[in-house]
Structure formats: structure tokens, C-alpha cells
Structure 1
């Protein structure tokens, strides 16, 4: 009986340690996803998250953040006008996003990233791809909203689209700023399930509101 008790205690202790090790490894890297890193740094970060996911096998968050790191790299390429790089970067993100989706079905956070992946692919040639990638992006965001209507990252995506779309195509900087404010209001009350769950985006809303024309 004593041996059984000791074995149980040992098992619980090892399990707790393993969870702590996973959470520690993730926390250190999650803190970097909104940092001003280089494209190469985001590639390394994505690879690190993928390795954690491959080791854990049942956790969706490592693959989610691996995809998000690739998306961040894509946003750098987009700002620098390197549109030819966007398709391979989006494909890289999609591979990890598919793995995350397999582990967590109907997840609004994953659908938000799916919207962003389609957005990267659309920016390769907006006129030609709006009816394909643009529509798929809108569909993914709509699905996410049905699952979690108060998610501030959904409103943030709407704010970006509205702010950067030319007025002749339905965009509006004024309306975009209103949505950034709504997103910020949602961030101030939105609660994540765990400390590792997605919590990015507030700084972007604050930036646009602080630098509005």
C-alpha cells in the first residue's frame, strides 16, 4: 500500500512538473509574439513553437502561436512591399494552423488567424484575389464572430479592414477608428481562459487611437 502511495505521489509530481515546464516554455515565447522582431526572429520563434507542439502532441496553442509568428513575419513583408514573399509565408502559417484546427475544432481564435492568412494571400494581388481570398477571409471572421461575438480581436480585424480600405470601396478612417475604440473597450473587459490563451492586439488598437489624424 505504501509503495502504491509513493508511486502515486511520484506520478502526480512528475505530471505537475511536466505541465509547469510546458507552461514556462510557452510563456517565455508567447511574450515575444507582439515584439518588434525581425523576419528571421519570427521564423525562429515559429519553429520553436512547432517543436513544442510536436513534443506535446495534444496542445493546440503551440501550433496556433507558430502560425501567428509566421503571420507576423508576413505583416513585415507586407509593410516592406515584398508581396512576392506573402504566398510562401501564408502557406507556412497554414500548415501550423491546420494542426491547431485538428486539435481544437470550431475555435474562434484559430478562425481569426485563418482570416489573417487569407488576408496575406489576398495582398499579393488585391484586385485579382478579392473575390477568392478576400471572401474566404470574411467568411472565416464571420464564423469566429458567431462563436465569440465579444472577442476584441474580431473587432480589431474589422477596424483594420475598414481603416485601410479606400473610401470608394467602402472603407472609412473615421469608422475604422470607432472600431479600434470598440476593440479597446472589449479588451478592457475580455477575460482569457488561461494565461497562455491569445491576448494580443490591445497595443495595436491603442497605437491607432493615439495616432489618429
Structure 2
């Protein structure tokens, strides 16, 4: 009985140490990202992912760091490298957590980055995929603020590209902001981004 107690205590200590390392690693990766050190942040999220094979979050953030860095990138070779890595890691995140609305939004953002780079080349094939992904995400999580806002942002971008009116989608941005105000992430590392972008987008509506 005494040996069993010792074993349980050792297991608990090992678990707490691993959790502490995970927490510190994730916090450091976010710090690097916030400092604009995208490569360093991506590399650290990758290292965390190799130790957290059943946790979709570090895989998600490798994908997100590389996707965000790709918007506005003019060098196609660098863009391709970043978005291929983003796709590789979001695919792994999907395997860990299928039908996850946050992962679906991230997948849509990868496609959007390609369309933003060259709409004439990638729009025809990827735009329908983005629409389908947001429709699926909305069915799974209709009150997720990132789902509502990201879909509205895509719809506004599409309308602008074709010379249409963005006004019909402003109500969706307003709804997203209300959802952001009441959203509570499952942990300090679960996705919680988007409110500032939604507020900036709403200002475009009010001009």
C-alpha cells in the first residue's frame, strides 16, 4: 500500500511538472509572437506540439502564426513555405480534434491567405471551399464569435472584390462583437482573438 502511495505521488508530480512546462512554453511562445518574432514563436509552438501529441492547441498556433505572417507577403516562395507549414499543422490539429470550429476557421484563413495573394489564380478553386467551411462551422458553433465574424469578414471581402455593398454584413459584425463580449475560452491558451478586428471592421460599416 505504501509503495502504491509513492507511485501515485510520483505520477502526480510528473504530471504537474509536465503541465508547468507546457504552460511556461506556451506563454513564452505567445510572448515571442507578440514581439513580432514569428519564426521563433512558430518553432517553439512546434516543439511544444511534439511533446503534446494529443493537444490540438500548439498545432493550431503553428498554423496560425504562419498564416497571419502570410497576409501581405509578396515573396511567393516565402508565402508558399509558410502556408504549406500552416496546412501541415492544421491537418494534424484536425486529426486530434475533428469538426472543431476553431480549426475550421483557421483552415478557412489559410485558403483566404492564398486568395488574398492572388485572387485570379486561387479564387475560383478556394473561394467555394471557404464558403463551405464557414457554413459547416456555423452549423457546429453558431454562437462562436470567431465563426460569425470570420464569415462576415469573408463575405465583406467578397462583396468589395466584386464591387458590391458590404452593408448587409455589418449586422453580423455587430452580432460577433456581442458574442465576443460574452465569450469565455476554455483555458488561457484556447483561441480568444478577433474582437479588436471586429471593432475595426465595424468602423468601416459606420463610415
| Corresponding residue of 2:181 | 188
1:70 aligned partner: 66
2:115 corresponds to 1:122: yes
Aligned partners of 1:145, 1:31: CA distance in 2, in Å? Answer: 31
**Number of residue pairs aligned between Structure 1 and Structure 2:** 205
How far is the alpha carbon of 1:160 from its aligned partner?
Answer: 1.7
Counterparts in 2 of 1:170 and 1:105: CA distance versus 1, 3 Å: farther
User: Which residue does 2:46 correspond to in 1?
Assistant: 50
> Which of 82, 89, 107 is equivalent to 2:100?
107
Q: Name the residue aligned to 2:21.
A: 21
Distance 1:147 1:170, change over 3 A: farther
Shift of 1:198: 0.8
Change (3 A) 1:93 1:174: same
Superposition TM-score, scaled by structure 1 size = 0.85
Tell me the CA shift for residue 129 of structure 1. Answer: 2.4
Is the 1:50–1:63 Cα contact (8 Å) retained in structure 2? yes
| Kept after mapping to 1: 8 A contact 2:63/2:87 | yes
| Deviation of 1:187 (Å) | 0.5
Q: Kindly indicate whether the alpha-carbon contact (under 8 Å) linking 1:43 and 1:73 is maintained by their aligned counterparts in 2.
A: no
Runs of 4+ in 1 over 6 A off after TM superposition: none
Kindly report the root-mean-square deviation, in angstroms, between the aligned alpha carbons of the 2 structures: 2.3
Q: Which whole-Å CA distance do the structure 2 matches of 1:4 and 1:168 have between them?
A: 66
Partners of 2:114 and 2:2 in 1: how far apart? 61
TM-score normalized by the length of structure 2: 0.87
Do the aligned partners of 1:118 and 1:133 also contact (CA within 8 Å) in 2?
A: yes
